[in-house]
A and B are shown apart, each in its own frame.
Chain A
Amino acid sequence: MSGASDPTSDAALVARVGRGDRAALRLLFMRHHMRVYRFVVRQTGSESMADDIANEVFLEVWRQAPRFEGRSQVSTWLLGIARFKALSALRKRREETLEEGQAEAVADSADTPEVAAMKEDKGAALRRFVDMLSEEHRVVVDLAYYHGKSVTEIGEILAVPVATVKTRMFYARKKLGEALKAAGYDRGWP
């Protein structure tokens, strides 16, 4: 990200949005929408939910930009908003009945994870195991590996202490290692 003196830096764009500049918000959208959208898909498992939530995230930027203090990176701020909105949407969805499409998807997954992994190479198996991590472990893996966030930034996004981030990363990696071993792939640790 560019420095604050750069008029097209994220921070400068948010300042412009705070003054009602819609072109600046559209530029921020183009710059960050892909990652926000992917982050929400990973949280919710639903592309249609992610589409609505990602839109809502940037509308929230429009509303909150005058109060953005720049204490964290704009991308970290966006992911924090996305996380909050995704959790709210998931809570709401849990209260509703299981959709027909989801029921079919559950019925179709005939293979156990181990059997499915044996049909794949190690990379494909690992992608599958990353997807199968619990939500609290998967989000830490995604934020570190895909979004390039630090321990502190992940703590900000998830609203948890840095020690918790490290512990979740430890257990996430441990579970990935155990799943690979169970599927017959060598792994030195754990």
Chain B
Amino acid sequence: MSENAFSNRRDRLEALLPFFLNGTLAGSELREVEEWLASDPDAMASLAEAEAEYSAALGVNEAIRPPADALARFSESLDREAGKERAPALSLSERLARFLPSMPIQAAWVAAGLALAILVGQTVWINMNGTEQYSVAGSERENAPFAFVTFRADASMAEVSALLGASGLEIDAGPLPGGHYRVLVPAKTVAQYDGIVAGLEKAGIVETVMTGRKPADE
């Protein structure tokens, strides 16, 4: 079918009236309908008929009511389609707050620091006893270059681990007053150290970086 089906201008305009009523008519077609309505008395009668059709179509559609539990059943279908929903990722501070709900957040950070220190000590002990590949000996660690880093409050543990792992960095101590962590920087020259620190400063989850001990240039 095409617009040639209209035998005259009136038929073509009658077909446009519903779109004039629903406000989607534009451009030359809108102007043509408006001129017709303004100049032809029959046009206003046609508009009234179209309004009655409008009401009828609204009436028959609005009489249809979806089931009240549609959303609940859809959620079940979605779970079957996509698997059970996981809880949203929590930030480091949120995890600590949940883990230690009765403690104020500052105390939680101290507890986390202690846990981290135990973990570091344990790792050193395991590595020293279990393998010869361990490379940061106690004396080396004492003289190793480091920087002080604070992370954004909404940074997750996974994000911090990923960042440190990607750069070969390691938390040596923290959180210290002000929320700083002492991070060992695997650099042999000042240029390497500055490069690593510059990279840290650009990371989205890092809030501040303060330079600490730099390596002595060879």
Interface presence of B78 (CB below 8 A): yes
Q: Which residue of B lies closest to A37 (CB)?
A: B66
A145 close to B22 (CB less than 8 A): yes
A167 close to B15 (CB less than 8 A): yes
Q: A168 vs B14: C-alpha distance in the bound complex, in angstroms?
A: 12
Q: A61 vs B116: C-alpha distance in the bound complex, in angstroms?
A: 44
Interface presence of B10 (CB below 8 A): yes
Interface presence of B24 (CB below 8 A): yes
Picked from A26, A151, A189, the residue with its CB within 8 Å of the CB of B10 is A189
Interface presence of A142 (CB below 8 A): yes
Interface-located stretch among B55-63, B90-98, B101-109, B126-134: B55-63
A169 close to B15 (CB less than 8 A): yes
| Given A127-B59, A150-B19, A176-B53, A188:B45 Cβ within 8 A | yes
B53 close to A26 (CB less than 8 A): no
| Given A30-B71, A126-B53, A173-B50, A144:B19 Cβ within 8 A | yes
CB distance from A145 to the nearest CB of B (A): 4
CB distance from B97 to the nearest CB of A (A): 22
Picked from A38, A166, A169, A189, the residue with its CB within 8 Å of the CB of B49 is A189
Residue total for B at the interface (Cβ-Cβ under 8 A): 48
Q: A142 vs B58: C-alpha distance in the bound complex, in angstroms?
A: 8
| Given A187-B49, A189-B49, A173:B18 Cβ within 8 A | yes
| Given A55-B77, A62-B81, A164:B60 Cβ within 8 A | no
B58 close to A145 (CB less than 8 A): yes
Q: A189 vs B8: C-alpha distance in the bound complex, in angstroms?
A: 13
Q: A25 — which chain B residues lie within 8 A by C-beta? A: 78
CB distance from B65 to the nearest CB of A (A): 9
User: Would you give the 0/1 interface string for A36-79, flagging 1 where the beta carbon is closer than 8 Å to chain B?
Assistant: 01100110000100110011001100110000000000000000
A189 close to B42 (CB less than 8 A): yes
Q: A151 vs B21: C-alpha distance in the bound complex, in angstroms?
A: 12
User: Would you give the 0/1 interface string for A150-161, flagging 1 where the beta carbon is closer than 8 Å to chain B?
Assistant: 110100000001
List B residues 103-144 near A (Cβ within 8 Å). none
Taking residues whose C-beta sits less than 8 angstroms from the other chain, chain A's interface range is: 35 or more
A55 close to B74 (CB less than 8 A): yes
A145 close to B15 (CB less than 8 A): no
Picked from B18, B50, B70, the residue with its CB within 8 Å of the CB of A54 is B70
Q: B18 — which chain A residues lie within 8 A by C-beta? A: 141, 144-145, 169, 173
Q: B6 — which chain A residues lie within 8 A by C-beta? A: 167, 170
Q: Which residue of B lies closest to A187 (CB)?
A: B49
A149 close to B24 (CB less than 8 A): yes
Q: A188 vs B199: C-alpha distance in the bound complex, in angstroms?
A: 78
| Given A150-B19, A189-B42, A189-B46, A130:B24 Cβ within 8 A | no
Q: A54 vs B54: C-alpha distance in the bound complex, in angstroms?
A: 24
Interface presence of B188 (CB below 8 A): no
Q: A174 vs B7: C-alpha distance in the bound complex, in angstroms?
A: 13
Picked from B42, B66, B73, the residue with its CB within 8 Å of the CB of A188 is B42
Q: Which residues of A contact B (CB under 8 A)?
A: 20, 22, 25-26, 29-30, 33-34, 37-38, 41-42, 47, 50-51, 54-55, 58-59, 62-63, 122-123, 126-127, 129-131, 141-142, 144-146, 148-151, 153, 161, 163-164, 166-171, 173-174, 176-177, 187-190
Q: Which residues of B contact A (CB under 8 A)?
A: 1-3, 5-6, 10-12, 14-19, 21-25, 42, 45-46, 49-50, 52-62, 64, 66-67, 70-71, 73-75, 77-78, 81-82, 85
Given contacts A22-B82, A22-B85, A30-B71, 6 further A-B contacts (CB under 8 A): A33-B66, A144-B22, A145-B57, A150-B22, A170-B14, A176-B53
